[in-house]
A and B are shown apart, each in its own frame.
Chain A
């Protein structure tokens, strides 16, 4: 048995070609799908490692056009489902509908935009429906259940559950609180992606019964930060280890 893992990477980090190779390495290690973050200059929900990586990706010349080319290449090479994660301003500047349309044309499966939420999304959800792109709401343990229900009422295909209060990159303990929250969600129709702070096989294993897939990102960014070609086989091994049920 294998535990499903969505692997998160940052577009154009450390550069375009390497981020494509990173995606391939993650895929060959057994990633279930790839979440590509389009870096934004002023992110409000990222931890220090992701933040630094986004800074570097921007300095290395990230553009939204490059982001879409990367996504297209990843889909072509890995045949995996790809989600884009970014922030409101990147979409708004292009035009939200145009961004969604372009995502569809690029073969993207869904969008994760934490600062565009239900009733404050400037039409993102409607555009997603129009073009057949999943708009994936991001929920946290502290989201009131009334709000959770309101969001689930729109029947999202996926839900992104943040498994701790706070930002990416600090270690997540799979507490009873997390499991209770996930159990509540799993009673619903949506497929649950669970992330933030996942870095060990034990965490993934503990979460697997409650999730459609776990999401890991910071753990890879830390490795990529070390640099060099050698990291590619290491990334592959990391994904293997995170997803294997038995060692």
Chain B
């Protein structure tokens, strides 16, 4: 297996000396397990029995007919235990941490999916965990907070900065600077200082491998693979077997938010990102002329992040991955479309990929196929989507709930 520290000029390990020894140790153990059969046997057993792998690969027949272009397939990664691809990486890293003799796990979370996955993996494998979550995200993702606590994780609200995912990463890094001797920091996306981008990709590459074998099995002619990109862990895993090949087209969809103004979106690759070193890695970021990180917006907390994984940024520069964006409202339309036509509930993050797939498939011939990675499922978004799509009914329901409670 391959592991890289730099991807073109991106990546690297830009951390204070205090974190260097623990990253060195982590890298060493990661290199050890790459060729350790026992590790992968255990990982695969848990992936089957606990996560529910392989996740389904659905021919979206109704959607395909309705659109009338390329055949649409959906990798239903969101059907994995805990509702998103995040569990693949969480399980891998918790197993690794146990091998290193770590006694505690810390993690950051944005949408809460990585937090939930980490909390579940820690519950399963018997390690206590602390999850850092921005106060803004806590407000919009209350259900996931509840789940993390149910799995017995400690959730620490982050009250500084923009109080979102990036600040949760900073809070976790600060914890780690004082706790690394017995604590593993479980980064949830394919970013941060090396070895994290390569390690997270390794654990997420199972998505792409399963897709690849389905492509052969079904003998489909894939024109494009489409994934949403926040930090990019689902995309890099989904794309991984195809990055060094010339086809199919690999398309990353960023959060177009509500507009192209500052603070209205999280599109780094479609023109507005600039080179930076933030949170331990070099990549493209949304920042001002002084290098101060800019606020971002997305209806999906999981895409609401100013940076992008270094390998994804690199393949954007080489042109291997094409980047585009979908707006908040396009994502919501895609959510409705696939719910109605396929009985499939996309997470708002993944619905960004769904939205672009609908547009692209329409212009492609019928003998071609597009594959969408539905990285998460949308149950967690109900407090956003129900409020948005059926405001009166939802608010009435909430009122009733409160008044029942207050009786």
**B244 at interface (Cβ–Cβ under 8 A)?**
no
**A175 at interface (Cβ–Cβ under 8 A)?**
no
Q: Are A89 and B277 also in contact (CB < 8 A) when A55-B160, A63-B290, A120-B12 are?
A: yes
Q: Are A93 and B290 also in contact (CB < 8 A) when A52-B160, A165-B178 are?
A: yes
Tell me whether A45 and B16 are in contact (CB under 8 A): yes
Interface residues contributed by chain B, number (CB under 8 Å): 34
User: How far is B178's CA from A46's CA once the two chains are assembled, in angstroms?
Assistant: 12
A51, A139, A142, A144 — most chain B CB neighbours (10 Å) = A142
User: How far is B19's CA from A114's CA once the two chains are assembled, in angstroms?
Assistant: 11
**A190 at interface (Cβ–Cβ under 8 A)?**
no
List the one stretch of B109-117, B166-174, B213-221 in contact with chain A. B166-174
Tell me whether A115 and B18 are in contact (CB under 8 A): no
Tell me whether A115 and B14 are in contact (CB under 8 A): yes
**A78 at interface (Cβ–Cβ under 8 A)?**
no
User: How far is B276's CA from A115's CA once the two chains are assembled, in angstroms?
Assistant: 12
**A60 at interface (Cβ–Cβ under 8 A)?**
no
Tell me whether A147 and B15 are in contact (CB under 8 A): no
A92 CB to nearest B CB, Å:
5
Bits for B135-167, please: 1 = Cβ < 8 Å to A, else 0: 000000000000000000000000011000011
Tell me whether B14 and A88 are in contact (CB under 8 A): yes
Q: Are A140 and B17 also in contact (CB < 8 A) when A89-B278, A115-B280, A166-B178 are?
A: yes
* Chain A, interface residues (CB within 8 Å), range: 35 or more
B76 CB to nearest A CB, Å:
35
B323 CB to nearest A CB, Å:
22
Tell me whether A120 and B178 are in contact (CB under 8 A): no
**A116 at interface (Cβ–Cβ under 8 A)?**
yes
- Neighbour of B287 across the interface among A63, A89, A115, CB < 8 A: A89
Residues of B within 8 A of A156 (CB): none
Bits for A38-57, please: 1 = Cβ < 8 Å to B, else 0: 00111111111001100100
Q: Which of B1-26 contact A (CB under 8 A)?
A: 12-18, 20-21
Tell me whether B178 and A167 are in contact (CB under 8 A): yes
Tell me whether A120 and B14 are in contact (CB under 8 A): yes
A8 CB to nearest B CB, Å:
16
**A204 at interface (Cβ–Cβ under 8 A)?**
no
Q: Are A44 and B292 also in contact (CB < 8 A) when A120-B13, A137-B17, A166-B178 are?
A: no
Interface set of B (CB-CB < 8 Å, partner A) = 12-18, 20-21, 160-161, 166-167, 170, 173-174, 177-178, 181, 274-280, 282, 285, 287, 289-293
Q: List 13 A-B contacts (CB under 8 A).
A: A41-B161, A47-B174, A51-B160, A55-B161, A88-B278, A89-B285, A92-B276, A93-B275, A114-B17, A116-B277, A143-B17, A167-B174, A167-B178
